[in-house]
Amino acid sequence: MTDLLINGVVIGVLIALVALGFALTFSILKFINFAHTDLITVGGYLAYSCGRLKLSVVPSVIVATVLTGLLGVVIERLAYRPLRGQRLSMFLSSFGVSILLNSSITLCFGSTSRTLPIAQDAVRVAGRTLASAEVIALCLFLVLLPLSWFIFRKTQYGLAARAISENWDGVALLGIPCDRLVSCVFFVSSGLAALAGILLGSLYSLSPQMGHKYGIWAFVLVVVAGFGSIFGIATTGLFAGLLITAVMYCFGSYTFVNAVLFGILTIVLLVRPDGLFGMRLRRF
């Protein structure tokens, strides 16, 4: 049972990492960046490519994370910035970017699943055998989520980022470089997606569609938690991971997972349209 709990927590952590990236971009630009799901995949495949180029594990992870972060910045600059303020157009543009990224990955690597040989060693923790990737995921969760909360709630950068979402022109008049701030947020959120992709690829396998499944789960999580709460995302993420594990264990079936998750999403939206911890959705 302990293994099952650990497994649920790890899944929850990974979904929360992806969801955090979703929430960061939404909190500033007020649109769902659907291409975020494919940045998960890009991160995984970049780490895979680094491995093929004989880079060791740590440089591979750093290079893949930074490159994916930069890709996120480029995407924002080319595909979203010209459409800024038109949320529907930005959303549709993110679909286009998603298809472009997915097709590019398939063209470059084929559609066959691949193994990402990173952090696959077993480690003993409190008498339990865990994959290194599981331990790394838990550590990242414990570091990154409080750090994100601190940056966005307690620093001037975070204050400026939140202010941009309320009154872009007003913040710009104060001399704050809004575009650069948005680029920073995209860099961070894309980097988080890359880290999640690397860990997912290591724990399971890499495939061009891998990001979509976890991306959609993360999207459900963000909506259920509410878009504005980092700790809400963390808490709901852990709950979602445990729920997915419990559903699969109890029903002996993968088929029920999406039914249960989307059922909960529907109920939450009916009862609390703003999410369990979030700011008011209807304003957006």
Residues at the site binding another protein, with contacts judged by CB under 8 A: 3-4, 7-8, 11, 110-113, 204-205, 207, 209-210, 244-246, 248-249, 252-255
Minimal distance, residue 251 CB to another protein, in Å:
9
Residue 103 makes CB contacts below 8 A (sequence gap 6+) with none
Minimal distance, residue 96 CB to another protein, in Å:
22
Query: What's the CA angle centered on 147, arms 146 and 151, to 5 degrees?
Result: 120
Closest to 61 measured CA to CA, from 237, 207, 202: 202
Residue 61: both structure tokens together: 């992870």
CA distances from 226 to 22, 273, 274, 282 (A): 11, 9, 6, 11
Closest to 258 measured CA to CA, from 226, 213, 225, 222: 213
Q: How far apart are CA 195 and CA 68, in angstroms?
A: 9
Of the pair 168, 204, the CB lying nearest another protein is at 204
Minimal distance, residue 104 CB to another protein, in Å:
16
Q: Is 147:157 a contact under the CB 8 Å cutoff?
A: no
Minimal distance, residue 252 CB to another protein, in Å:
4
Of the pair 113, 156, the CB lying nearest another protein is at 113
Q: Which residue has the tokens 């920073």?
A: 184
Minimal distance, residue 181 CB to another protein, in Å:
36
Closest to 149 measured CA to CA, from 138, 161, 132: 161
Q: Is 247:260 a contact under the CB 8 Å cutoff?
A: yes
Minimal distance, residue 210 CB to another protein, in Å:
8
Of the pair 2, 126, the CB lying nearest another protein is at 2
Residue 108: both structure tokens together: 């470059």
Of the pair 87, 114, the CB lying nearest another protein is at 114
Neighbouring-strand partners of residue 125: 128
Residue 226: both structure tokens together: 């509410």
CA distances from 135 to 5, 9, 199 (A): 14, 11, 10
Of the pair 2, 54, the CB lying nearest another protein is at 2
Minimal distance, residue 213 CB to another protein, in Å:
9
Of the pair 67, 248, the CB lying nearest another protein is at 248
Of the pair 246, 276, the CB lying nearest another protein is at 246
